[in-house]
Amino acid sequence: MDNFEDRIAVVTGGGTGMGRELVCQLVAAGAHVAMCDVSAENMAETAQLAAKLGKGRVTSHLCDVGVEAQVLAFRDAVAEQHDTNKINLLFNNAGIGGGGEIVTGDRDEWERTFAVCWYGVYYGCRAFMPMLEAADAGYIVNTSSVNGFWASLGPGVSHTAYAAAKFAVKGFTEALVTDLRLNAPHIKCAVVMPGHIGTSIALNTSKVLGRNGALQMDAEEVAEIRDRLQKRGMPVDNVPDDHIRQMLQQQAESFRDEAPTTAAQAADIILQGVRDERWRILVGDDAHAMDEIVREAPEEAYEVSFQEKMHERGHLRLINRPLTNAEGDA
């Protein structure tokens, strides 16, 4: 699909990050966009930015993609507000982090992360498939992650719910290539596997999971974080609670502000992949490097040697950088 002019696109998670940039760049390319998010305030900011870039219509819809009834209501609202029975582009982009540990972690948090990151994609495809079938051409773009082929953030960090969901998205989308070719050949699909992108996912996840933000954590939450850091070998026994809070806030902000690939660059890569009709879209030099190294030596993927190879190529340094407090102590 090399032209987005007058196409109708649906973007989940359009309030921030890659979703916001996808909305803006699609509107700039002449598309009409329906976005959803759990934050009306964030969507309002996205809509204001998009309005400056093109004449395409933008509608905003509150929707938790991890709840099927809300996704179906979102679909019905898109049909009504855009006065259409069809769409051309579906970007299942919404996602959160969290749910790292299955052994000692909170089950509700685990399942919430899995629901948004996996079922949000599945529900989106189910809900909007009839509208894609009704169009002359369609494209489904499902956001997985490098964690869809490398289920880790390093040997000292549990990452089970997010990685499991992203593996599911990758496998589902790859299977969808043949499914669509046989049953709806005018619809194509792509799996997007971003590396470290400068988004607010680390800052937004706590809100979606119903937790306090880093600076508002209570004593019990700080104790849980301290225990996790100690398991990673970090000497935080005597670090004051307020410094723990500041550490996490700084880490989340650094993840957003110091990433090797911006959200705008990521959206541009994704849309170019759609124009080129690719089914596999790696986003960022780190994603390409990780893909190459995992393929070279899959048995080493979860060993320290893998992380060392990534470091040698200049990647994963920020994600695995030791937390520091305001005074620079570990």
Catalytic residues: 162
- What is the spatial distance between Cα 294 and Cα 2, in angstroms, rounded to a whole number? 32
Beta-carbon count within 10 A of 242 CB: 13
Q: Exposure of 264 by Cβ count < 10 A (0-12 exposed, 13-18 middle, 19+ buried)?
A: middle
Sign of the CA dihedral with 299 first, then 304, 310, and 312 last:
negative
d(CA 171, CA 90): 18
Structure tokens at 87: 């769409």
Q: Measure the N-to-C terminal CA separation of the chain; round to a whole number of Å.
A: 50
- Output the six-digit token pair for 253: 């902000």
Contact 202/256 with Cβ under 8 angstroms? yes
Task: Give yes or no for a contact between 115 and 166, defined as CB atoms under 8 angstroms apart.
Answer: no
Nearest-angstrom CA–CA distance, 3 and 88: 11
**Which residues have a Cβ under 8 Å from the Cβ of 22 and sit 6 or more positions away?**
9, 11, 14, 91, 93, 267, 270, 271
Q: What is the separation of C-alpha 216 from the centre of its chain, rounded to a whole number of angstroms?
A: 24
Q: What are the backbone dihedrals phi and psi of residue 33, each rounded to the nearest 5 degrees, phi first?
A: -130, 135
Rounded CA gap, 283 and 107, in Å?
A: 31
